[in-house]
Each structure stands twice: as C-alpha cells, then as structure tokens.
Amino acid sequence: MNVLDIKNLKVIFRTEEGFVRAVEGVDLHIGEGERVAIVGESGCGKSVTSLACMNLLTTPPAYVTADSFVFTDHDGHKHNILEKTENEMLALRAEEMAMIFQDPSTFLNPVMTIGEQLDEVFIYHMNMKPKDARECSLAMMRKVGIPDPEMRASQYPHELSGGLKQRILIAMATSLSPRLLIADEPTTALDVTIQAQILRLISERCAKEKMSLLMITHDLGVVREMADRVYVMYCGKIVEEGSIEEILKRPQHPYTKALIDTVPGMDEEVDRFVQIPHNVPHPMHKPQGCYFSNRCAYCTDLCRTKQPPLFDRGDGRKIRCYYTPEELWLKSY
Amino acid sequence: MAEILLKTNNLTVDFKIKKSLFGKPGRLSAVQNANLEIKRGEIYGLVGESGCGKTTLANAILGFVPITSGSFECFGHKIDAKSSAAEWRDVRRHMQTVFQDPYSSLTSRFTVWQIISEPLYIAGERDERVLRERAAALIEKVGLSLQDLDRYVFEFSGGQRQRIAIARALITNAELIICDEPTSALDVSVHSQICNLLLDLREDFELTYLFISHNLSLIKHITDHMSVMYLGEVMESGSTADIFKNPRTPYTEALMSAILEVNPKTQRERIILTGEARSPIDPPSTCRFANRCPKATELCRISPLPSAVEIAPEHFARCHFCAEK
C-alpha cells in the first residue's frame, strides 16, 4: 500500500510576467517504509513538488491541480490533500507527515529557546502539560544525538551551529513518528563531515520509526546513500524513474547520463570534465519539443517538435526519451 | 624544477573580538602559521570545511585582511604586516580573484564591458575606447559573444556571470588567479563548463591558480598540489595524487571518506567523525582536531601540535603519529 499517491500533479505560479508552469504532470508514489528521492537542478520543480505534498503552497500565486493526491495515514484512512482546509492540514502535519528544510536557521524561531520550540510539538499535538512536554523534548534531543540536552534546551537558535540546528529540526520532525518524512536538501548548507553525520541520523530515524522518506536533492552522491528509488526531474517534468542501482549503473535518459558523467569518480583520471552545453532553459521559455532537446547530444527533429511521453520500459523504469540506450549508443557513432 | 611563484612563511591572521564590554579582547585565530609553496603554472588546491580559514588565507594574500605576523614572497617582493601601500600595489598587480557568488560580485549598474575593464581603469587606463577594446578581446575567450558587451548582468545566468567574473580577472594580465569556490554557487550541469574554461585559460594565458574549494572530488581532478586546512592550521600538504592515495593525518582521512561517490562500483569505508569543530576563539596550542580525532591519545591533548614533517618527498603532515602509518 502506498503512503502517498500522486497522479498528474501540476503547479502553476502566476507572476507579473505571466504564468510559470513549475511542475507539469508529475506522477509520484511512495510505498510504506520506502526511501524515495527526487533529483534535479535548481528550478526543476523538485522543491515545489515537496511543498505541494505538505500543502504548503499558497493560492495565489500558486495553483495546484492533480488527478489524484491521496495520502494514507497510520490508521489506513485516505486523505485527499488538495481538499484539506488549513486546520485539517495542521492535524496531519507533524503527526502523519513532517518536513526538514535546507537551511535550519530560517525555520527556527529566533526569539524562542530551543526547548520551548520542541515542547510546542508535544503541547499542541499531544495536549501535554509543559512539564511533561519538556521531558519528552529532552528525550528526543538525546535520540538525535545532542550532547548535554538540558543546556541546549535553554539556548536560543543563534547559539547553535548549523549541524546542531539541523539535528533539532530532525528531532521536531520525527518526534511524533510521522508516516512520511520529507527532507528538502537537508545537508546542502552543511560541511561534508557534518553531512555524513546528518545523513546517517536521518536513515537511522527512518528505520527505527518505520517512516517513509522523500528526499529532495541535487546531489547524486546523497541519493546513492539515502534512496531506494529515484525520480530525475528536469524543467518541471520527470525524465527518468527507477531504482537507484539501475539508474546509476545504466542511466537511460541522456540528461541523467550527462548528470552522472559530469561528476568523475574518485578513481578515474580525467583531463577535462564532461560538460552539458548551454544552460537550463528559462521557465517561461522552455523549448517546444523535449525540454532537454537544446542541450542533448542525440537530439533529432522529432525531439525538437514533439514532447516525448514517459515510456514504461519495465522493471519500474520509466524514461521520457524516444530512444532506447542502444539506439542512442548507435547514434553516437 | 619549476619556479616558485608564491611562498608563505608562517603566515598568521588573527582577529580581535570583544567578548564583553570591559573584558579583555579574545583572539580569533583564523590562519595559524600557514606555509604554502605555489609553483608557476600549477593549480594549487586549498581544501577544508567552512570556518577553517581557507578564504581568510587567500584574502590575506590579496591584502583584503591585514596580516598579523609572518610574510609571503611573491614576484620578487616580500610582504609582511609592515609592508607599505606601494609594496602592496606592486604585488597586487600580478594577482586577481574570482569570487564564489557571481550574483553579488558583479556591479548591477555597470554594463558587461565596464565590469570587465574596471581593473584596467583602476590601474590608470582612462581611454574608454581602449578599455572597450580590451574587454572585447577577452569576452569571446570566456565563451560569451561581442553582443553581450553592452548588456547588464541581470540578463545573465549564474554560469555566464561567472564567465564575466573570470574575464575581469584576466584583463590586467595577472599571473596568479585566486579562485574562491568558483563553482559552488552554480548548478551541477554548469560546474564542468566553468572548470573546463579555467583549464583552457590556464593553457592560453599561462596562469597559475590558487583554487579554494570544499569539494574534494573537484580538487582531486583539477589540482596538482594541495593543502588541507582545519581550524586555521594547515594539517597536510603535498601533491594531490599523493594525498589522495595516502592521506597521513586522521582529519584528511575522515574528510576523504566523507566524499559521497556517485559511481555504484566503488564502496568505501566511511569514517564518521563525532562532534563538531571547536571554537576558533583562543584555541589551545595542542592539536585543534584532537577533540574529534578517532586516533587521539593523551599525547595529542597535552603536547603542542608538531610542526610539519616531510614524510615523503614534498608531502608534509602535522600529526604526532603521521610517521607510523
């Protein structure tokens, strides 16, 4: 049974210059306890998709539509996220679905102590007395590996380092063991040695609380570490879907392949880096046919005129490209 | 052996900070006794996590922050804390820099040719025709077109802006280009475009780069020699190939094991460090990494950090146990 099932999600923003189609028909599903990642560059719509999952996009400027958008909670009740009122969503968030953001300092209240902010989760959602809530908060802080929690609870966010703040956010998000945890670039603002700590912590928490994970990132290295199944997004569309092993070993879409090739392995010797020509198209001026056509080495007239659909190639692989890897390989000669 | 272009001798940068209104000022040790040797024509990498002092070291060489003690030699000049403005001018003429964030390092009110030629203007060239011609001669070298000269920066993407910043660094015919995280503000698919451009320009203009990055995989593939910094101290330096093959300090080892590889064939053992870097304010004279080091012993916590030992030709490390491995 799927925790989250989205069919044909579309998000349009109204801006002064016109309508921006940020997400164009995304199908996404996350199984129970499954770790799923969305990979893509900035502006590809991965963050907007995750915000739509939490119903955090305000209308206007964002207009969200979907054929179906079903979230199944702990008790097996099905919720249509798009029809929820804000109050109904407040009950779902934290208990059923929770989110960790990229920059932890912007999501902590600077005028409340860390302890007070953690207590709120238990006071509002579990109707606990402040004293009991603090006990729970301290226990949570120990679970996410914060040394000396009593001292930290009385401190303000500016007194904590980025890594500690991210641990606090993880503690908040996982304190009521939600069914789905969404992590939007959780380690991008952190150093590499801290990144390793935080990724391990997220995996541990997910395994222990049997949470499903939706990981949003631009870093394929992080994906390889954290996900079972991957969606690759480009310009608001999913271009490739499959298991992480398969995608890294045998990428089928030229964009995925190029993305993997631009990061040379540590054991390889390179004189020059593989580069993708040009830039990501402006969201208002996407190419007419395949959105990757202006940067693709294998582009044909067909690609330039007609949008390819998402082809099902079996084994859970879906690719938005007219050509199979064998055909692409032949074309390169 | 190639000529040494830049050599620092125990270069130290401290910042005084006030802890309280009447208290004694504290000492934030940003760079402590750094010794680097950059040879002509090479790419020298400086790696470390945020707050380790890599940018401050570059800024001290560029004269953006005052040197506390120590000195550096460059282009036949010796610069230390007491050097005059005239001496600085002589040295700075040969250096230029490319900053991390092309969204804030380019003036939004200037057109592209004005931005690119501004260093020449500062150097005394006032003839607009000459300035424009020089900018025009460079712009195609960095992969932009002549039509772009009269546009404003807001019309360009991050990668294109970084190309403009690179052109600006080249216009005074500087020999040493200091690149401070030139790709980290850019999209992944644009990274390699900028790296390849830097590599091409090195050939064309015979440049030397000091390349600052926290991205180890980039450092591995682009640099010839490198230094690893931790909390202001240079922990290890040597040829890039050597250090990656055979890291001799526990910090370098941990840093390398934290690299997340994309290639599914490789599986490396991961060393996950506990805790976080200590505060750089009034640091002890012992090893600054000792509180996180998986191999630390009582010796590391008591005795001062040893000075650099040459454990292999041109491979220096600072650790009590680096010789044992």
Work out the number of other CB atoms within 10 angstroms of the CB of residue A195: 23
Nearest CA in chain A to B215: A192
- The residues facing B73 across adjacent strands are B7, B78
Average pLDDT of the residues of chain A: 88
For the record, the structure tokens of A167 come out as: 């641990």
E strand intervals along B20-126: 26-34, 37-39, 43-47, 69-74, 77-80, 95-98
Question: In terms of C-beta density within 10 A (0-12 exposed, 13-18 middle, 19 or more buried), how is residue B75 classed?
Answer: middle
Indicate whether A14 belongs to any domain.
no
Q: Which of A128, A157, A177 is the last residue of a domain?
A: A177
Cα distances (Å, whole numbers) of residue B29 to B103, B144, B234: 30, 42, 13
Percentage of chain A modeled with pLDDT above 90: 35
Of B214, B175, B280, B174, the C-alpha closest to B46 is B214
User: What pLDDT band is residue B198 in, cutting at 50, 70 and 90?
Assistant: very high
For the record, the structure tokens of B143 come out as: 């992969």
Distance from CA of B214 to the nearest CA of A (A): 8
Please name the amino acid found at residue B61: I
Q: Are B278 and B289 spatial neighbours (Cβ–Cβ below 8 Å)?
A: no
If one counts the domains in chain A, the total is 2
Q: Report whether pLDDT(B1) > 60.
A: no
The pLDDT score that the predictor gives to residue A85 is 86
Indicate whether A324 belongs to any domain.
yes
Question: In terms of C-beta density within 10 A (0-12 exposed, 13-18 middle, 19 or more buried), how is residue A18 classed?
Answer: exposed
- Block residue for tokens 């980290």: B184
In whole angstroms, how large is the CA radius of gyration of chain B? 21
**Is B313 in the A-facing interface, judged by CB distances under 8 Å?**
no
Distant-in-sequence contacts of B90-95, Cβ < 8 A, 24+ apart = B91/B63, B92/B62, B92/B63, B93/B123, B93/B172, B93/B174, B94/B174, B94/B175, B94/B176, B95/B61, B95/B62, B95/B174, B95/B175, B95/B176, B95/B177, B95/B178
Range of the domain at A273: 237-244+251-331
pLDDT in tens, A274-299: 888 888 888 888 888 899 998 888 88
Cβ–Cβ below 8 Å for A196 and B272 = yes
Q: Report whether pLDDT(B305) > 90.
A: no
Distant-in-sequence contacts of A124-132, Cβ < 8 A, 24+ apart = A125/A94, A125/A95, A125/A176, A126/A176
Q: Average of pLDDT values for A78-85? A: 87
The pLDDT score that the predictor gives to residue B265 is 67
Average pLDDT of the residues of chain B: 88
Please name the amino acid found at residue A315: D
pLDDT in tens, A224-254: 889 999 999 999 999 999 999 889 888 999 9
Query: From CA B325, how far away is CA B323, in angstroms rounded?
Result: 6
Please name the amino acid found at residue A294: N
Q: Which residues in chain B touch residue A266, judged by CB atoms under 8 angstroms apart?
A: 217, 220, 244, 259, 261, 263, 266
CA dihedral B136, B141, B147, B150 (to 10 degrees): -50
Indicate whether A83 belongs to any domain.
no
Q: Report whether pLDDT(B110) > 80.
A: yes
Nearest CA in chain B to A255: B189
Q: Average of pLDDT values for A305-326? A: 89
CA A120 distance to own-chain centroid: 25
Percentage of chain A modeled with pLDDT above 70: 99
pLDDT in tens, A117-174: 999 999 988 899 999 999 999 998 988 888 888 889 999 998 888 888 988 999 998 8
Distance from CA of A280 to the nearest CA of B (A): 8
Cβ–Cβ below 8 Å for B261 and A265 = yes
Of B147, B146, B143, B175, the C-alpha closest to B160 is B143
The DSSP call for residue B278 is P
Q: Are A66 and A41 spatial neighbours (Cβ–Cβ below 8 Å)?
A: no
The DSSP call for residue A76 is S
The pLDDT score that the predictor gives to residue A37 is 94
Q: Report whether pLDDT(A273) > 70.
A: yes
The pLDDT score that the predictor gives to residue B103 is 87
Preferred mutation among A144, A166, A191 to probe B, highest tally of B CBs within 10 A:
A191
Q: Are A227 and A215 spatial neighbours (Cβ–Cβ below 8 Å)?
A: yes
First-to-last alpha carbon distance for chain A, in angstroms, is: 45
Q: Report whether pLDDT(B264) > 70.
A: no
Superfamily of domain B4-94+175-317: P-loop containing nucleotide triphosphate hydrolases (3.40.50.300)
The domain ranges of chain B are 4-94+175-317, 107-174
Q: Which of A160, A177, A194 is the last residue of a domain?
A: A177
B49: nearest CB among A193, A279, A295: A193
Q: Average of pLDDT values for A79-92? A: 87
Q: Report whether pLDDT(B325) > 60.
A: no
The pLDDT score that the predictor gives to residue A182 is 93
For the record, the structure tokens of A42 come out as: 């900035």
Q: pTM of the prediction?
A: 0.85
CA dihedral A88, A93, A99, A101 (to 10 degrees): 60
The pLDDT score that the predictor gives to residue B192 is 87
Nearest CA in chain A to B265: A249
Query: From CA A25, how far away is CA A28, in angstroms rounded?
Result: 10
**Is B107 in the A-facing interface, judged by CB distances under 8 Å?**
no
Q: Which of A151, A177, A203 is the last residue of a domain?
A: A177
Cβ–Cβ below 8 Å for A265 and B263 = yes
E strand intervals along B55-166: 69-74, 77-80, 95-98
Q: Report whether pLDDT(B168) > 80.
A: yes
Greater confidence (B265 vs A69) lies with A69
Query: From CA B155, how far away is CA B144, in angstroms rounded?
Result: 13
The pLDDT score that the predictor gives to residue B19 is 67
Q: Report whether pLDDT(A78) > 80.
A: yes
Is the peptide bond preceding residue B182 cis, with omega within 30 degrees of 0?
A: no
Of B169, B111, B161, B107, the C-alpha closest to B138 is B169
User: What pLDDT band is residue A16 in, cutting at 50, 70 and 90?
Assistant: confident
Query: From CA B289, how far away is CA B271, in angstroms rounded?
Result: 15
A residues 159-198 closer than 8 Å to B (CB): 161, 163-164, 191-197
Q: What are the backbone dihedrals phi and psi of residue A156, each rounded to the nearest 5 degrees, phi first?
A: -100, 155
Indicate whether A152 belongs to any domain.
yes
- The residues facing B97 across adjacent strands are B178
Indicate whether A69 belongs to any domain.
no
Greater confidence (B313 vs B165) lies with B165
Q: Report whether pLDDT(A333) > 70.
A: no
